C-alpha cells in the first residue's frame, strides 16, 4: 500500500498535503464514472474498445468537446445541475472536473459530506473536499466545472469506512 | 567534424573529440536535434539520464526535454548492446512506454493519453509498436494499451467488447493469429 500512496502523493500534491484515505486496491477495470454509477466491472468511456458507454459516440464528436456527452450520461441516471457541493440531506452530489469542454474527472459526495474518487487506474480515495484534487501539478485535475445532484441512492462501497480494502 | 545520427534506427557510432550533431532517442523518433558532445577519441555515446538545463535554455525554440546523450561506458558493453539493433530498439520503446504509463496512470479519460508526446512517438511506429503494447496488456495499464492499439494499428478486433478483460482477450487472440505469441 506504501507504493500506492507514493504514486498518489507524487501526482496529487495538494491531496497529499490535505490528507486522504485509500479505500481500494488499484484496478484498471473501472474508472471514476463507473464508480459514480456503482459499476466496478467496466471502464466507462466512449469510443474506447473495451470501454463501456450507454450510447454510440464517434471520436470526432468527442474531439469537439466531450463534457456535454458526459453530462448527458449523468443526466440519464438522474443527476441535474446544482449550485455547489454543500451537503444536503437526502441529496447525492457529484463534482464534475473539466478543462473547458473537456471532461477530466468526477467525484462522489458521501453522506457525511466527504468525497470519494477513483483516480484513473489507481486507487479509490476518500478526500475532504473537491478542491484538493486540483492544482498546478501536471497530473492534478482542473477545477470543478459543475456540481450535479439527485436523490441519494445507496453506494455501500463509497459509504463504508474501508471501501474495497479488507480490514 | 562528424555527424552522429543517434536515432532509433541508427547503428553503432564511434565518436572522437569535437562537436557533433546527435539526436536523443528520448525525443521524437527519427528527429535530429543539435547537441554538443565532447568526448575523447574512441568513446561511445549512449542515451543517458543527465539533463543539461543550461544547454536546453540555449535552444528555447526546441519544445522538447533536453537529455545529454553522452554517457560513457565500456566499449565491450556498447558492442554487446549496439550490435543488436532489435534489442536496442525495444529498450528505447520500453523506456517511452514506461514514461507513458507513469504519466497517464491518473487519467480518468484514457483518450487524453493521446495528447502525451510519448503516445505520439510510439503510435507513429504503427504495427511496429504493437508487440510492446500487447506485452503491456498483461500488466495494470490495460485501458491505455487498448486505446493505444486501437489508434496505432488501425485495427479493431475488440470493437464492441464491453469490458477491459474481454477487450484484452480479443487483442491477445488477434496477436496469436499473427503468430505474435
Same domain, B12 and B79: yes
Residue B58 sits in the same domain as residue B94:
no
Q: What are the distances in angstroms from CA B163 to CA A48, B39, B87, B146, B168? A: 10, 53, 33, 11, 9
Same domain? For B77 and B114 the reply is no
The reply to whether A48 touches chain B by the CB within 8 Å rule is yes
Number of domains in chain B: 2
B3 plus B44 within the same structural domain = yes
Partners of residue B106 in chain A, C-beta under 8 Å: 11-12, 119-120, 122, 139
Percent of chain A with pLDDT over 90: 86
Residue with cell 474531439: A63
* Tens of each residue's pLDDT in chain B, 181 residues: 222 333 322 323 333 333 333 333 343 333 333 333 444 433 334 343 333 444 434 434 333 333 334 333 344 544 554 556 666 677 788 889 999 999 999 999 999 999 999 999 888 888 888 989 999 998 789 999 999 999 999 999 999 998 999 999 999 999 999 887 6
Give the model confidence (pLDDT) of A132-154 as tens digits. 999 999 999 999 999 999 999 98
Which pLDDT belongs to residue B173?
95
pLDDT digits (tens, 9 = 90+) for A94-144: 999 999 999 999 999 999 999 999 999 999 999 999 999 999 999 999 999
Cβ within 8 Å of residue B80, ≥6 positions away: none
Report yes or no: B146 at the A interface, CB cutoff 8 Å. yes
Torsion, Cα A135 A10 A24 A150, to 10 degrees, reads 10
Domain boundaries, chain A: 2-159
Residue B146 sits at φ, ψ, to 5 deg, of -65, -45
CB contact residues (below 8 A), chain B span 54-113, against chain A: 103-112
Supply the range of the domain harboring residue B55: 1-83
Backbone angles phi, psi at B66, to 5 degrees: -95, 130
Summary mean pLDDT of chain B: 66
Distance between A104 CA and the closest CA of chain B, angstroms: 6
Say how far apart CA B84 and CA A160 lie, in whole Å: 54
Domain boundary among B36, B57, B83: B83
Indicate yes or no: CB of A42 within 8 angstroms of CB of B162.
yes
Report CA Rg, chain B.
Answer: 19
Q: B95 and B163: one domain?
A: yes
Can you tell me the distance from the alpha carbon of B11 to that of B13, in angstroms, rounded to the nearest whole number?
6
| pTM as predicted | 0.76
Amino acid at each position: 500500500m506504501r507504493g500506492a500512496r507514493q504514486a498518489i502523493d507524487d501526482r496529487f500534491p495538494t491531496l497529499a498535503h490535505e490528507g486522504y484515505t485509500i479505500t481500494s486496491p488499484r484496478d484498471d477495470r473501472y474508472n471514476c464514472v463507473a464508480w459514480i454509477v456503482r459499476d466496478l466491472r467496466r471502464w466507462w468511456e466512449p469510443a474506447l474498445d473495451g470501454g463501456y458507454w450507454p450510447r454510440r459516440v464517434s471520436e470526432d464528436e468527442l474531439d469537439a468537446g466531450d463534457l456535454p456527452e458526459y453530462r448527458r450520461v449523468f443526466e440519464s441516471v438522474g443527476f441535474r445541475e446544482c449550485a455547489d457541493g454543500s451537503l444536503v440531506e437526502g441529496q447525492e452530489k457529484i463534482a464534475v472536473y473539466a478543462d473547458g469542454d473537456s471532461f477530466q474527472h468526477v467525484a462522489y459526495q458521501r453522506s457525511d459530506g466527504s468525497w470519494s474518487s477513483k483516480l484513473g487506474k489507481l486507487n479509490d480515495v476518500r478526500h475532504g473536499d473537491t478542491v484538493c484534487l486540483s492544482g498546478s501539478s501536471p497530473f492534478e485535475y482542473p477545477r470543478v466545472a459543475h456540481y450535479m445532484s439527485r436523490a441519494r441512492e445507496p453506494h455501500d462501497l463509497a459509504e463504508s469506512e474501508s471501501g474495497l480494502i479488507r480490514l | 567534424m562528424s555527424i552522429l545520427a543517434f536515432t532509433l534506427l541508427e547503428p553503432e557510432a564511434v565518436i572522437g573529440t569535437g562537436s557533433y550533431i546527435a539526436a536523443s532517442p528520448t525525443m521524437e523518433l527519427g528527429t535530429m536535434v543539435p547537441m554538443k558532445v565532447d568526448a575523447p577519441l574512441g568513446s561511445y555515446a549512449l542515451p543517458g539520464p543527465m539533463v543539461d538545463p543550461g544547454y536546453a535554455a540555449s535552444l528555447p525554440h526546441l519544445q522538447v526535454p533536453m537529455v545529454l546523450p553522452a554517457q560513457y561506458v565500456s566499449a565491450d558493453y556498447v558492442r554487446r548492446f549496439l550490435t543488436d539493433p532489435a534489442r536496442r530498439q525495444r529498450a528505447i520503446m520500453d523506456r517511452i512506454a514506461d514514461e507513458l504509463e507513469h504519466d497517464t496512470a491518473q487519467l480518468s479519460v484514457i483518450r487524453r493519453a493521446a495528447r502525451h508526446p510519448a503516445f505520439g512517438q510510439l503510435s507513429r511506429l504503427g504495427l511496429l509498436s504493437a508487440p510492446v503494447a500487447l506485452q503491456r496488456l498483461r500488466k495494470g495499464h490495460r485501458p491505455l494499451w487498448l486505446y493505444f492499439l486501437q489508434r496505432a494499428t488501425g485495427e479493431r478486433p475488440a470493437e464492441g467488447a464491453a469490458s477491459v478483460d474481454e477487450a484484452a482477450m480479443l487483442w491477445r487472440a488477434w496477436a496469436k493469429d499473427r503468430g505474435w505469441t
